[in-house]
């Protein structure tokens, strides 16, 4: 759907018809911007009597679309991170590039 | 001293107090190498979005009398790791209360990009978001109706 967005051609109405209502509408002077996002969290908990080890990893897919004062699309930018969330222990680095690459490869439209 | 110890033992006997070592991560850090490749006065909104992806927040700033404005894009992320205490105890058979204390800080690292009225990049900075964020220039809807 996002690949169908064409700056200079797509209108705000068409964006809403394709993607639904945005999470937030921001006024930027005479321009406007819509934010779409979706979050995913994965939590892991390991308890040993008086000590608990916990990890919570939260990431987002985000899309911002920017319109001029005539509600025509001028720019858009997307970030895909929700598929990268991990179950882990608190001493583990959940932002390692190798982990991200393997998860990107398994998500359609994101991996190379 | 003995009284305090008795109170502590009594509390432990009816509750569950544990130490907690926890990590909480929210969002991913922006690639700082990419960020530092941005060229003020040359890059614009389109090239910055292509390089860094979608921001977490977008705000207007420098609103002119004719209604045009500049734009600030904000990215932030959080990685909190540390020890804390978690306590919970039964109030009745059906209800319980819990208490959690974390040592982690509250401000988050991030970066802000500023664009002029023509959407050219005029500045960018990395640091703590609370110190970087521009103040909102318009009153909230609730305030404006009063």
B1 within domain boundaries: no
Q: Indicate if the pLDDT at residue B143 is higher than 70.
A: no
B6 within domain boundaries: no
Collapse the DSSP code of A42 into the 3-class scheme (helix H, G, I; strand E, B; otherwise coil) and give the result. Answer: strand
- Give the residue-averaged pLDDT of B55-67: 91
Q: What is the pLDDT of residue B73?
A: 95
Q: Do A62 and B17 touch (CB under 8 A)?
A: no
Q: Which residues of chain A have pLDDT under 70?
A: 111-112
- Residue of B59 and B85 predicted with greater confidence: B59
CB B76 within 8 A of CB B109: yes
Number of domains in chain B: 1
CB A82 within 8 A of CB A55: no
Number of C-beta neighbours around residue A42 at 10 A: 15
Cα–Cα distance between B77 and B131 in angstroms, integer? 14
Of B22, B51, B25, B49, the C-alpha closest to B36 is B51
B29 within domain boundaries: yes
Q: Do B58 and A64 touch (CB under 8 A)?
A: yes
Cα–Cα distance between A38 and A82 in angstroms, integer? 8
Q: What is the pTM of this model?
A: 0.79
pLDDT band, residue B104 (cuts 50/70/90): very low
- Interface predicted TM-score of the whole assembly (ipTM), two decimals: 0.88
Q: What is the pLDDT of residue B4?
A: 72
Q: What is the pLDDT of residue B103?
A: 37
B38 within domain boundaries: yes
B141 within domain boundaries: no
- Which token pair is B18? 């544990």
Cα–Cα distance between B100 and B86 in angstroms, integer? 5
Percent of chain B whose pLDDT exceeds 70: 69
Q: Mind telling me how many Å the CA of B20 is from chain A's nearest CA? A: 5
Domain that holds residue B92: 13-133
Provide, as residue numbers in chain B, all residues whose Cβ is less than 8 Å from the Cβ of A60. 27, 56
């Amino acid at each position: 759907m996002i690949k169908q967005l064409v700056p200079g051609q797509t209108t705000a109405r068409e964006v809403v018809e394709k993607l639904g209502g945005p999470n937030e509408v921001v006024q930027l002077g005479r321009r406007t911007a819509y934010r779409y996002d979706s979050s995913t969290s994965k939590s892991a908990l390991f308890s040993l009597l008086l000590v608990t080890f916990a990890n919570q990893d939260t990431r987002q897919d985000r899309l911002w679309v920017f319109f001029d004062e005539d509600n025509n699309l001028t720019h858009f930018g997307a970030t895909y991170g929700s598929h990268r969330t991990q179950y882990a222990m608190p001493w583990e680095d959940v932002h390692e590039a190798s982990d991200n690459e393997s998860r990107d490869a398994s998500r359609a439209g994101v991996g190379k | 001293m003995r009284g305090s110890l008795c109170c502590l033992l009594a509390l432990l006997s009816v509750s569950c107090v544990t130490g907690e070592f926890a990590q909480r991560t929210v969002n991913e850090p922006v690639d700082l190498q990419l960020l530092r490749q941005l060229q003020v006065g040359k890059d614009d909104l389109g090239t910055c979005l292509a390089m860094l992806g979608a921001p977490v927040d977008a705000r207007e700033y420098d609103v002119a009398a004719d209604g045009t404005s500049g734009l600030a894009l904000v990215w932030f992320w959080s990685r909190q790791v540390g020890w804390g205490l978690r306590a919970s105890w039964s109030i009745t058979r059906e209800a319980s209360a819990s208490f959690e204390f974390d040592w982690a800080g509250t401000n988050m690292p991030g970066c802000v990009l500023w664009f002029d009225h023509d959407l050219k990049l005029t500045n960018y900075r990395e640091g703590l978001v609370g110190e970087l964020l521009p103040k909102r220039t318009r009153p909230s809807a609730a305030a404006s109706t009063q």
